[in-house]
Every structure is written in structure tokens, then in C-alpha cells.
Chains A and B, each alone.
Chain A
Amino acid sequence: MKKVLCLLLALSMVLALVACGNDNKQNDYTKQPDNSQQTPGDTQQPDNNKPAELITVGVINNDPNESGYRTANDAAMRAMFTEENGYKATFYNNNDAAQQIAEAQQMVQNEVDFLLLSPASTTGWDTVLKDAQAAGTQVILFDRMLEADESMYVAAVVSDMPAEGKTAVDWLAAQGLSEYNIIHIQGHMGSDAQLGRTGALDEKVAAEASWNYVTQQTADWDEATARTIVQSVIDSGKPFNVIYAENNGMARGAVAALDAAGITHGKDGDVIVMGFDSDKWAFEAVLEGSWNYMGLCNPLQAETVDQIIKDLVAGNAPAQKIIYTPEQGFDCNTLTQADVDTYGT
């Protein structure tokens, strides 16, 4: 009797798991901002007897759960590449470059017209890119760059990470503090975003005598780790007046540690708090003066990519190969509700 019960229990759990898996694909993006109530549905294989005008695209992206930025990025891609917009799309999400490459290989074999790629790592893509070229699949990079000759892809719509870092550091320099004692919380080491955002700050700290690192640690984009790092600096009693966190989640963790120790931050506070990305709640934190600065990293490349594809199909090559998404920094003194509504995701 017990055995039967247990078997049933286990079976129902397995079924629940399977159900979850399916629902995941179908439902995830129904809550997205716009028209695409019709989710990409059964996108696994391009249909053979599809209407001729549908453009087949394979989209390879990172894991949407990675961060709020990625969630917005992935959702925008899925909302854009739908049948209503003239696409037959296949989506694949993974943070592991090896898996991404295997899936890309498969998509090239299925002879998609366009391969849209946000590579998890910058290297290892040579074979796929060559195969794609041989098969007549055009590759468009979005969001992240990879290391390959420019001739291997038709366009790249990416964030200019070094520029993001530079904008932020210039803003910080403009605050005119007599001394900069910085807690630098880095993202996942070696990622495009971390390298760009760290690079600008490293350069400035090396150049200026009054700029110092109190600590420079990676929290791997994790809020809890960032909180621990700041907590340990507070416990050690070293003075600091700037927190430069390379994404919003980590800035949030840092602020939690400040709050717990009763250290004021933000507008008129003792500590300047800086974050990056595009989360709406972070914009709101800047708006209410709890943070000082947020560097926008625009996750919405889908429209630009769509335009490039339409142009290419019409026979027009894009004017420039690498297109940087428009980005800027927001300051707590100048940010408006309108900005929050426009750029917040």
C-alpha cells in the first residue's frame, strides 16, 4: 500500500516537473509589455510548408534568470520575433557557451535565414561562423561581442561597455570630492560588462592620487555577496565614500549593508552609490535619492536588429557593422519620472 502511494507521489512530482518544463516555454513571456500575446509557441522546428514570406531566425541568448537586465533583453527579443512580425523564430537560452555553440550548429544545419547571437563567451565560435557563412546563414550579434573577424557577421548591435564605464567615472569625477575612497564591487570576471566597467575605473584610480580603492572584489553579480563584502569593510572600520557596483543587484546588496550600519547614502548622504543596467526599481531608487547614479545599459536591441534584418532582406547592407545602442548615465539630481517610464524595464 505504502509502495503504491509513494509511487503515485513520485509520479505526480515527475509529471509536475514535466508540466513545469512545458509551461516554462509557453508562458514565460505572456506578461510582456506589448502585442505579443501569441508566444512563439512551438518554435522548435521551422515548419516546412510555412508561408514563403516568413523569415526564419534562430535566437541564441543567455539565461533570462541571470539578471533583470537579461530578463528584459530576452523578453524584448521574444516579443519582436513573432509570426505577426513576419518571423519564424527558434529561441535558445543558456549561459554555457559550449551548449550555445552546439545549438547554433543545429540551427545552421536547419538553414535558418538569420542567426541572432548573444554569446556567453567571446571565443570558440569560429567553426559555427564558418559553417553559417557556407550555408548562407547571416549572423547578427546582439548585446555581446565575440572575437572574430568582422567579415564573419553582418552586423553587431551591442552595448559599448568601456563607454559605459567611462561615462560613470567621468560623472564620479565631476562630483568633486576631495578624496575618493571606493568600494568597487565587480561583476562576473571576464564578462564583457565587467571588463568595460572595471577598465575605466582602474585607469582613473591609477592616474589620480586622491582616488583609492578601499576594496576591489567580485560579487559575481550576486546581491548577497555584495552585501557581505560591504559589511566586512564596515566591520573593519575603514573609511569609504563611494560604492561603485557593476550592476544594480549588487548596488542593492551594498545599500542593505549601509542601511544596517546606519550609514547615510545617496543624495546628501555620506556615501555615493552607483549601479548599472536598466531595472525600474533601480531607477526609482535613484529618483528618490537613495542612490546617486545609474549607468543605463540598454537591453532593448530587438527593434534595431529587426530593422537590420528588414533592410538586409530588401537588399540594403547596414551602414555600419557595429551599432552601439544609445546609452547614458542618470543622476539623482536630474532624473525625471519620464526617464524612469521610458528607460526602466
Chain B
Amino acid sequence: MKNTIRIERAIKNITQAELAAAVNVSRQTINTIESNKYVPSTILALKIARVFGKPLEEIFILEDGD
């Protein structure tokens, strides 16, 4: 699964730390999600999508191997 968090953050002009604070996780967690090292829970994914005001499928995209 890949995601567009980095792009969405750039559009919204917020840092990893600001996004982390908005969804109540550590900055490291946002960092590992962005670099596809950690797959967030459904709850966290929904919270992230809500911060950007977009549907979940626009932020998190399934890849062929998933």
C-alpha cells in the first residue's frame, strides 16, 4: 500500500509534527507511514484522511502486490 500523505501535507502546508499532533500520534509514526514502513490501523488512516478532508482511497492506495 502506498500513500499520498507527503503530497497532501505539502498542499496543506503542514509539517509531520503538526499532522502527528492532529491525529494524536508521534512524528516518527507519521514518518514511517509516509515512507511505507508502517501500515496504520483503519482508525488512524481515517483520522489522517479527515485532516486532509479527502476520502480514504485518495490518501491510501492499494498496490498490485497487496
- Whether chain B is bound by chain A comes out as no
Interface residues of B (CB under 8 A from A): none
